[in-house]
Amino acid sequence: MSRLGAHIVVVGNEKGGSGKSTTAMHLIVGLMQMGFAVASVDVDFSQATLTRYLANRRAFVKAAGSDVKSPDHFTVGPPQGSGEDGREDDPDGAKAERLRLLLEGGIINHDVVVVDTPGSAGPLSALAHSYADTLITPINDSFLDLDVLAHVDGARMAVMGPSHYAEMVWKQKQVRAQRDGGSIDWIVMRNRLSSLDAHNKRKMDDVLQDLSKRIGVRIVPGFGERVIFRELFLAGLTIMDLKDAIGPQALGPSHLAARREVEELIGAIDLPEISRAVDNKSN
Ligand SMILES: Nc1ncnc2c1ncn2[C@@H]1O[C@H](COP(=O)(O)OP(=O)(O)OP(=O)(O)O)[C@@H](O)[C@H]1O
Ligand SMILES: [Mg+2]
């Protein structure tokens, strides 16, 4: 937890394009709909996908006069109007300082902070990982993507050892423990699961079970390969917003499955506040 009590969810994987920003956005909206006060932080200052997704959302709200909610969003770049150039002139040290300030106490009055990180290794991303209460690592459902987490012996279909990313996470777990005695709950979610390739899916299942024991991760099912997970970016919306906009009866089976996948991922996060929010709703 941050010093002020928010639960910090970091979405990370050094492999580019694994679905970090997509996952972060769906978590943010899903958590807001469950009644949590959510803040978001975009550590990926060069691509800034999450920041752009949320800017699209604000533009949609303005244009459509809609009342969809947005999180309180923060970036690690220099404050607007400061005259600093966020990409070239702002050294990583300054960004790291902003990130530290945000995660250690700058974000007040929020239940959950969702942090999106870049798809490449770096000190800023490592720092963000060290603040995670929950780390969610989406991986595309292929051995090529799994290789970023662990090296697999193809003949025996067994995990040979952790990769660079797993070692980095291990190190950040120690940094976290030394800083405040806290621990990081690491969840790996499979993303873009296809219903077609059952053989690959089974082989991945076996190796992931092995992996979960070897590097101390929990494996959760994650998201299927679905158009709905990518087609609402320009409007800044997600499948979780459609539920309210058009009513559950108007959603097709794939939409309902997508919603369930997001809800199940949120359910997998070990958040005491979740039961509180759900309890409040049912009272
Ligand atoms: N479950 C899914 N179904 C369909 N498309 C998806 C799904 N998840 C992600 N995508 C698409 O895959 C691409 C990469 O996703 P995204 O940008 O979220 O990944 P990322 O890990 O944040 O990438 P980067 O490392 O570049 O930041 C995007 O085009 C996104 O729309
Ligand atoms: Mg991204």
Residue 129 CA to ligand 1 centre (angstroms): 20
Higher per-residue pLDDT: 265 or 148: 265
Higher per-residue pLDDT: 204 or 89: 204
Task: Say what the pLDDT of residue 221 is.
Answer: 87
pLDDT digits (tens, 9 = 90+) for 126-177: 999 999 999 999 999 888 888 888 888 878 777 888 889 999 999 999 999 9
| Nearest Cα to Cα of residue 121 among 21, 23, 13, 46 | 13
CATH superfamily entry for domain 7-282: P-loop containing nucleotide triphosphate hydrolases (3.40.50.300)
Rounded alpha-carbon distances, angstroms, from residue 177 to 122, 128, 187:
20, 14, 18
The domain ranges of the chain are 7-282
Residues 199-216, mean pLDDT to the nearest whole number: 85
Query: What is the pTM for the complete model shown?
Result: 0.91
Task: Say what the pLDDT of residue 276 is.
Answer: 47
Rounded alpha-carbon distances, angstroms, from residue 140 to 16, 96, 155, 224, 243:
10, 29, 21, 10, 26
Task: Say what the pLDDT of residue 17 is.
Answer: 94
Q: How far apart are CA 197 and CA 74, in angstroms?
A: 39
Beta strands in 52-184 (DSSP E): 72-75, 112-116, 134-140, 150-153, 158-162
Higher per-residue pLDDT: 11 or 243: 11
Core vs surface per residue 231-241: b (16+ CB within 10 A) or e:
ebbebbbbbbb
Q: Which of 10, 14, 20, 22 for mutating ligand 1's site (highest number of atoms within 8 Å of CB)?
A: 22
Name every residue whose Cβ is closer than 8 Å to that of residue 99 and which is 6 or more positions away in sequence: 41, 43, 76, 124, 127, 128
Residue 30 CA to ligand 1 centre (angstroms): 17
Q: How far apart are CA 34 and CA 30, in angstroms?
A: 6
- Which residue is it, tokens 């991986």? 139
Mean pLDDT over each residue of the chain, to the nearest integer: 86
- pLDDT-derived band at 40 (thresholds 50, 70, 90) equals very high
Task: Say what the pLDDT of residue 109 is.
Answer: 79
- Which residue is it, tokens 């809609």? 66
DSSP bridge pairs for 219: 188
- Per the CB < 8 A criterion, the answer to whether 103 and 131 are in contact is yes
Residue 272 has pLDDT above 80, yes or no: no
- pLDDT-derived band at 190 (thresholds 50, 70, 90) equals very high
Task: Say what the pLDDT of residue 161 is.
Answer: 82
Return the residue whose CA atom lies nearest to atom 30 of ligand 1.
230
Task: Say what the pLDDT of residue 131 is.
Answer: 95
Return the residue whose CA atom lies nearest to atom 16 of ligand 1.
19
Task: Say what the pLDDT of residue 155 is.
Answer: 81
Ligand 1 contacts CB of residue 117 (under 6 A): no
pLDDT digits (tens, 9 = 90+) for 83-96: 554 455 566 689 99
- pLDDT-derived band at 39 (thresholds 50, 70, 90) equals very high
